[in-house]
């Protein structure tokens, strides 16, 4: 009787722990954000288990029933499409419901996109703010104004279709000279870590529309915006 939160690779299928594989094989049921996406990982490691969909569109409706099943003795492992469940992915509601019901919850350590992006950025990471996705409309300007005064490096997740818009707006509110790093397709063949000012990055991605999953690391306001002078502008991993 337990809920396991199991991180899965953000790209490279080798980035999964032995313990995560064992838990997935031992669980009675695997809860997946997208069963089609997760089936690739499960097939790769010969894991044949009952898989149920658990995503942002049904988690409010299914949490109560899942808690009931776990309380009756079922062990469930929750995975998202990539990374650690609950970090800008489904997982929080079920975790909270299990805790409130007195059900043991255990989160395994493992992959998450923002940690390698943060460390790889070259920006100070002794203290940082994980912001996740910016509001699309309501509250966006307010949040940008708040981030402009944030003294620590902060982390954003962004869609490739909205990256340029976000870079332009960040440059407007934080100043175009603020240093940042765009990490794209982490752990995959075409991984890219491009560093520069917000203005430079906006210009680059306007001319070179990005693809894939993106993490944006932005320097804080307390002098961090001058910390990349000795770093190369970008770091690309080409296919070998």
Residues 6+ apart with CB under 8 A from 138: none
Q: For position 119, what pLDDT does the model report?
A: 97
pLDDT in tens, 170-212: 999 999 999 999 999 999 999 999 999 999 999 999 999 999 9
What are the pLDDT digits (tens) for 148-157?
999 999 999 9
Q: 67: which 2 tokens?
A: 């808690």
Distances (CA, A) of 5 to 37, 66, 84: 17, 14, 7
Predicted confidence band at 131 (pLDDT cuts at 50, 70, 90)?
very high
Q: Considering the chain, what percentage of its residues have pLDDT values greater than 70?
A: 92
Q: What is the mean pLDDT of residues 62-91?
A: 94
Model confidence at 108, pLDDT cuts 50, 70, 90, reads very high
Q: Which two tokens stand for residue 75?
A: 């062990």
Please tell me the predicted confidence (pLDDT) of residue 240.
38
pTM for this entry: 0.88
Model confidence over 34-68: pLDDT tens digits? Answer: 999 999 999 999 999 999 999 988 888 889 999 99
CA dihedral 57, 62, 63, 65 (to 10 degrees): 180
With a cut of 70, say whether residue 33 has pLDDT above it: yes
Helices 163-174 and 140-148: crossing angle in degrees, nearest 10, is 50
Q: Which domains does the chain have, with CATH numbers?
A: 2-107 (3.40.1010.10), 114-236 (3.30.950.10)
Closest to 108 measured CA to CA, from 14, 3, 30? 3
pLDDT of 57: 87
Q: How many whole angstroms separate alpha carbon 228 and alpha carbon 121?
A: 9
């Amino acid at each position: 009787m337990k809920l396991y939160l199991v991180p899965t690779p953000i790209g490279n299928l080798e980035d999964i722990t032995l313990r995560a594989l064992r838990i997935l094989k031992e669980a009675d049921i695997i809860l997946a954000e997208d069963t089609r996406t997760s089936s690739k990982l499960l097939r790769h490691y010969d894991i044949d288990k009952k898989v149920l969909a658990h995503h942002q569109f049904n988690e409010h409706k299914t949490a109560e029933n899942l808690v009931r099943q776990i309380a009756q003795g079922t062990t469930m492992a929750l995975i998202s499409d990539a990374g650690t469940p609950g970090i800008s992915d489904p997982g929080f509601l079920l975790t909270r419901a299990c805790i409130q019901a007195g059900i043991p919850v255990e989160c395994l350590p493992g992959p998450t996109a923002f940690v390698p992006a943060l460390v790889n950025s070259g920006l100070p990471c002794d203290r940082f703010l994980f912001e996740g996705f910016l509001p699309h409309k309501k509250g966006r300007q307010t949040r940008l104004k708040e981030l402009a005064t944030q003294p620590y490096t902060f982390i954003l997740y962004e869609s490739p279709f909205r990256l340029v818009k976000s870079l332009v707006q960040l440059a407007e509110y934080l100043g175009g000279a603020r240093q940042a790093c765009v990490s794209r397709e982490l752990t995959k063949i075409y991984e890219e870590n491009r560093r520069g000012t917000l203005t430079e990055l906006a210009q680059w991605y306007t001319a070179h529309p990005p693809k894939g999953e993106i993490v944006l690391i932005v320097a804080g306001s307390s002098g961090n915006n001058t910390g990349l002078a000795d770093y190369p502008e970008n770091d690309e991993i080409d296919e070998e």
